[in-house]
A = this chain, B = another copy of it.
Amino acid sequence: MNPAINFCSQCAAPVRFEVPPGDSLKRHVCGQCGSIHYQNPKLVVGTLPVWEDRVLLCLRAIEPRRDKWTLPAGFMENNETMAEAALRETAEEACARVELGELYTLISVPHISQVHALYRARLLDVDFSPGAETLEVRLFPEQEIPWKEIAFRTIALSLRHFFEDRQAGNFGFHAGVVPPPP
């Protein structure tokens, strides 16, 4: 998920991959100006939008997992809050307007250096439509969720929590980890 770093983005000199003084991990360090180019996990933020008894899913138009279903979510941008990112992604991917609820799931995906965060959300209307990275947007009742065609395990896990919590009548907050695929 992190592209290789060959050259310094400050001065264009070649970088070395080595442990800087006082550090404990290898970093890309410029051999000329000394800049250290850190790489850190990315936050993927989105919503679990609900209309009556149904959940909104998006059919992905892009890789990875083109033609699989997902919740509206994407990479958080600089200078926004997590809640703003969730609303923006819901608008971009599903052209949907929601009232944001509580943060619902927060799942580390260490093998791809990501953390996935999903908010519960209430659709304000059903005038949604596919955004540029979406082929189709549809509302699914629980019994029609295409479980074998869900794009990402964090999404399937969040949906399972949602239907279990709805059945129990109590929506908690769920933190978790998705390990590498077997």
Footprint of B on A, CB under 8 Å?
2-12, 15, 22, 24-25, 28, 35, 37-43, 75-84, 92, 102-103, 106, 108, 110-111, 113, 115, 132, 173, 175, 177
Knowing A39-B78, A40-B43, A108-B82 are in contact, say whether A10-B11 is a contact too (CB < 8 A): no
B42, A40: Cβ atoms closer than 8 Å: yes
**Within the oligomer, what is the number of copies of this chain?**
2
Given contacts A4-B9, A12-B12, A39-B78, 18 further A-B contacts (CB under 8 A): A3-B35, A4-B10, A5-B9, A7-B8, A7-B10, A9-B28, A24-B92, A25-B77, A40-B76, A40-B78, A41-B43, A41-B77, A41-B80, A76-B115, A78-B113, A80-B108, A80-B110, A84-B110
A77 surroundings in chain B (CB, below 8 A) = 25, 40-41
Measured between C-beta atoms, what is the minimum distance from A12 to chain B in Å? 4
Main secondary structure of the interface of A (DSSP, over half): loop
B9, A37: Cβ atoms closer than 8 Å: yes
A113 surroundings in chain B (CB, below 8 A) = 78-79
Pairs A–B under 8 Å by Cβ, sample size 8 = A3-B10, A4-B10, A6-B12, A7-B7, A24-B92, A39-B78, A43-B115, A83-B108
Give CA–CA (A108, B4) in the complex, Å: 28
Chain B residue nearest to A28 (CB atoms) is B9
